[in-house]
Amino acid sequence: MSNESESLAGGRARLPQGVRDLLAALAGRHLVGNALVGPVDGACLTVLDPATGRALAQAPAAGPADVQTAVAAARAAGQAWARVPARERGRLVAEGGRRIAAASPDLAPLLAAETGKAIRTECRPEIATAADILAMFGGLATELKGETLPFSPDMLALTTREPLGVVAAILPWNVPLVLMALKIGPALVAGNTVVVKASEEAPFATIEAARLLADLLPPGVLNVICGTGPACGAPLVRHPDVAKVTFTGSQAVGEAIYREAADKLIPVSLELGGKSPMLVFADADLDRAVAGAVAGMRFTRQGQSCTASSRIYVDAELHDRFVERLAAAVSNLRMGDPLEEATDIGTVINARQRAKIMDYIARGEATPGARAVRCGHLPAAPDLAAGLFVEPVLFTGLTEDSPLMRDEIFGPVACIVPFSDEDDVLEAANAGEFGLAATVWTRDLRRALRVSHALDAGYVQVNQNLTIQPNLSYGGFKKSGLGKEASLESMLEHFTRKKTIVVDMR
């Protein structure tokens, strides 16, 4: 056995045999035209297991030729798929969701192995949510309808909804299955065909979930390629046959995609970064607010979420007790092997991301007047010594101009700030370039509504901190993105075009 083969075999050894077989079948292959195919030039990338640092498998590295093949397959399937009755398209997409849910025993360990996310707290719930999203959009198929317009008694005036064509869906690595479902669900039900660019960091569960759905669809309707942004993502966005781009990822990449799409005059939807505030007022249920902070900071995902409540403003009366209780709650979460049932927190995605997080922590600790509260313990198992684990850290004593208060760290780092005035805390919460999400914690209904209206964020919750949910319109303001996801609105406004037809009846 070659050194590379030994390394890959070692990286897969922690997986059940059935999952190892699945990973071996997916390695080095895209999904194009309902077939698993290798890249045109044979190029591959090594995907690492973040918990052990060992190689997991070879992922295909798409280049412009692979983009061309995938888009051509999608375009060839487009007209026939658009003619399939919408209700039938919805039935097939919903059935795909059920198949993905049924495959959770294999998909969940595969997702845990490539992302480092804990199988119990993160991976199984993600698969269930992705399936629910596909079921929801499948059920909305009959809402793809137009209107009759009272233009003139002598004329029949009406509107129709038509698919756009080939949709490019570009995914990140943090919640790839949920985000894929948010994009392909409405796109497919609306009659479009899709080329997904999976993250090169964690492509395998994405390809397998798409394959389960694509097996129900005509060849070419749903395709998945994997590669880097410059070699794969950029050619996909620029391709002349791509009629729509939907992207979730960083602000910088989203802005670049927006510029490319503007040159082509095609629509885009962008879900970008966030630095979400959490406002805890003096009358809040403290225990409930602490639990909401644990969930809202996505600590079980190592804080790798654009909606993470990383700026927590707490009424000065509650501040010290809140910090103490939050530190205790986070410290009770068990960090360990993502594949073990007892694990609450896994790893971050790669060494580059870990280094970025650790740099922010070091800068915070070096700030005069700041206090860092480290929570929990790194795993002691020898086989996890090289894993990309990061202890959650709570900071107090930082000012609003601190990089930790302004920047999206995408790690388990939360800043807790006391306040005493509602107007002042709203001004602080609304500062900055992001406006994705926010939460409000109070028992006063008038305050809850007043503050919710005043917050400059696209997704505001009161006394809860849920992740993306089916049928709750989701999307940000300012530089957090463009457009909405997870709702009927997203399907109609972002994946169809409206045509007006006027017939002279005289």
Question: What digits encode the pLDDT tens for the residues 93-106?
Answer: 999 999 999 999 99
In tens, the pLDDT along 61-78 reads: 999 999 999 999 999 999
The vertex-31 CA angle with 86 and 489, nearest 5°, equals: 35
pLDDT at position 323, please? 98
What is the phi/psi pair of residue 66, to 5°?
-70, -40
Catalytic residue among 183, 244, 275, 479: 183
Average pLDDT of the residues in 491-498: 97
Residue 505 has pLDDT above 60, yes or no: yes
pLDDT digits (tens, 9 = 90+) for 201-227: 999 999 999 999 999 999 999 999 999
Return the closest-CA partner of residue 275 out of 250, 249, 308.
308
Contacts 24+ apart (CB under 8 A), 457-462: 457/276, 457/277, 458/484, 459/307, 461/437
Segment 366-390 shows an average pLDDT of: 96
Is the pLDDT at 284 greater than 70? The verdict is yes
- The answer to whether 90 touches 189, Cβ cutoff 8 Å, is yes
Rounded-to-integer distance, Cα 467 and Cα 304, Å: 12
Gyration radius (Cα) of the chain, Å: 23
Q: Is 324 noted as a catalytic residue in this protein?
A: no
Q: What's the pLDDT band for 8 if we cut at 50, 70, 90? A: low
How far is the C-alpha of 32 from the C-alpha of 221, rounded, in Å?
A: 9
Give yes or no for residue 326 having a pLDDT over 50.
Answer: yes
CA distances 458 to 318, 452, 476, 478, 494, Å, are 27, 10, 4, 9, 17
Cα-to-chain-centroid distance, residue 381: 30
Task: Quote the pLDDT of residue 21.
Answer: 96
Q: How far apart are CA 15 and CA 498, in angstroms?
A: 48
Amino acid identity at 242:
V
Q: Rounded mean pLDDT of the chain?
A: 96
Question: Is the entire prediction scored with pTM above 0.75?
Answer: yes
Place of tokens 């993160």: 122
- Residue 268 · residue 245 · CB < 8 Å: yes
Q: What's at 385, amino acid-wise?
A: A
**Residue 1: predicted pLDDT:** 35
Mean pLDDT confidence for 420-443: 98
CA distances from 321 to 56, 290, 470 (A): 43, 10, 35
Neighbours of 30 (CB within 10 A): 30
Band the pLDDT of 13: cuts 50, 70, 90.
Answer: confident
Which structure tokens are listed for 321?
């007790």
DSSP H stretches of helix in 225-285: 234-238, 251-264
3-state secondary structure at position 395? strand
Question: Is residue 208 flagged as an active site residue?
Answer: no
pLDDT at 333 exceeding the cut of 60: yes
Task: Check 123, 226, 232, 306 and give the catalytic one.
Answer: 306
Distance CA 26, CA 35 (A): 11
Among residues 126, 271, 275, 484, which one is catalytic? 271
Per-residue pLDDT, 245: 98
Is residue 271 annotated as part of the catalytic site, yes or no? Answer: yes
Which tokens belong to 148? 């009759």
The predicted pLDDT at position 11 comes to 62
